[in-house]
Structure 1
């Protein structure tokens, strides 16, 4: 198939205070989340002026991708669509149809398998195409990229820079802690094709942490989880990063470099949960704290996107470092299985 464009797919975020509650209502629709909880989370956004950084970061990423495409001699316009806030993917796909786009590749800003990280983007594509009708462009989602060499290198260098920012007298004994968004244990068990044994999300996160740590010359580190939500009686992936920080402090560890390996860019869960809440807790515990940058603003990340595109346009070999599977867009003989992941 000939592809005529690239669609960057993301989660979305508010850009004005008046957008915050409608955005949160979109995110939680059908989940029965109490209004009081939405109002509590809204305060996190309002702390930053009612603006999430994610849309602006995605626009910067698109500009970098356009530069890398031009350097590679690839003529593909890049479109931008979100799941939960403007520009909504339904509107973007409608614009693509009006522009005469008949087929396009889609790049999700998630490196992972599982429902929220992978299959829900397939659902976004299907919903957007259904809203446009029979003339909607064909859309092919690019593969999971948790172990792409350029992704790993960007994460590894960010860790090294974070360690360098710690006080010199604590740097050598600092603990590196990788973190990713927690999900319900039951959803993780169902992540990936059934024949693959489940737990694909946590396996990929753990493998990405290993690869990045090795590239950064780190042999001892931790993998933890953050930003859980939902009823407390429902088990989620643990340990929680806040609990883990307290446990480290109790052991006498007085310096920590946190790497949000599970996040492509500075979502609110990064700038609030880590830069605000966790940093405050670290100060209270007397622990020197730094946070590694997310890889989306590293130009190598845009270069990786272009490599994923070239896999489909030119059939170049897939570059992978990990031992865990990566699915999507028929890479290495691992096409996605229909309905492979249970909902979070």
Structure 2
């Protein structure tokens, strides 16, 4: 491999190793988010950004806008990222790590281009990015890498700024701890109210993606099964969470669980990962269930997809089915999650060997540098992407 194999990369990552096991002198952290509107006037412009290039008219966007308008046109995601940025800064100081945190979004202010420009103007040009998505797929990993490459090209900073990316962290202990605690507490509460363990259903839920995208998620030289790396990673983490909960709460061993999907947005003719969470909830009484714990396994914090699709639609579906309902917490700015992110930062600062990296499933730890063809978007093809071997 040549030094140009991985574009816009630090010197230790440029040749494309699976794991960067030599120290890197990063001088800034880039917190990369999705972004969200912060008022009613922002909603349609924000949705235009999300769907850019797809030619969707405003009339159709307004069909989605009502989710945001229900909450005053304000997505919780920007406030959550402000909180996460502050928490990361505090934890970095506590550990004696002198690194600034720059925050930029894909779809709304502050934009990634603003954050990268600010970093460069401050003299911080070797950046390590943390994207607020844990799993391997186009929208949760590669699209962020394409964003980094696009921003460096558009700002003209590609010759002076490098951006590496923290590995997919789906099975890092800091990420999964909140889910273990949430499932344990939900089962405990249901059984205290008299529910039999076998009548409690745990539904691990994540954002659905097109089946074609799922099949292309993760490294291409691995047989991930019918849902690609995206589904396999969620299944592995859900199984581990239930195993860990059963260790802490023996009665949980009898509680059934499954992985479901939510928030699909494509045309009906396009296959997406299934089953849909509300369809599953509707059928639970016929399976003898009296209570359901919904676990937002695919989400870092309480996004709109959590507040609307789970706390509103899934909760309503459970009420119509006569089921007791609990939605467990997302990691948010919990101490364990914030500490876990800084652990991931320290991995790269130290060049920690892969054998010494924290992970809870047999699939991990994920690679630092994405492999060729990883997480292709079959509809748009390959675009330049940082932090991975081309294409």
The normalised TM-score by structure 2 is: 0.83
Matches within 5 A, 1:59-208: 59-134=82-157, 136-166=160-190, 168-170=193-195, 172=197, 173-198=199-224, 199-208=228-237
The 1-side partners of 2:53 and 2:278 are apart by 29
Which runs of 5 or more residues in structure 1 are unaligned? 330-334
Q: CA deviation at 1:276?
A: 0.5
Root-mean-square deviation over aligned CA pairs: 1.6
Greater Cα offset, 144-153 or 257-266: 144-153
Q: Which structure's CA Rg is the greater one?
A: 2
The 2-side partners of 1:138 and 1:30 are apart by 27
SS of aligned partner of 2:217 = coil
Indicate yes or no: 2:35 matched with 1:35.
no
Matches within 5 A, 1:220-231: 220-231=256-267
Given that residues 246 and 285 in structure 1 are in contact (C-alpha distance below 8 angstroms), is that contact kept between their aligned partners in structure 2?
yes
Given that residues 111 and 146 in structure 1 are in contact (C-alpha distance below 8 angstroms), is that contact kept between their aligned partners in structure 2?
yes
**Higher relative contact order (CA closer than 8 Å, sequence separation 6+):** 2
Q: CA deviation at 1:197?
A: 2.8
Distance 1:44 1:188, change over 3 A: same
Given that residues 158 and 292 in structure 1 are in contact (C-alpha distance below 8 angstroms), is that contact kept between their aligned partners in structure 2?
yes
Equivalence for 1:246: 282
The 2-side partners of 1:14 and 1:249 are apart by 38
The 1-side partners of 2:160 and 2:194 are apart by 59
Indicate yes or no: 2:322 matched with 1:322.
no
Distance 1:108 1:36, change over 3 A: same
The 1-side partners of 2:243 and 2:271 are apart by 31
The 2-side partners of 1:77 and 1:165 are apart by 42
Match of 1:255 among 287, 291, 313: 291
Which runs of 5 or more residues in structure 2 are unaligned? 1-23, 247-251, 379-391
SS of aligned partner of 2:154 = helix
Query: Alpha-carbon deviations, 1:64-97, whole Å to 9, x = none?
Result: 1112111211011111110011111011111111
Indicate yes or no: 2:316 matched with 1:280.
yes
* Pairs aligned (count): 339
Equivalence for 2:373: 339
Equivalence for 2:386: none
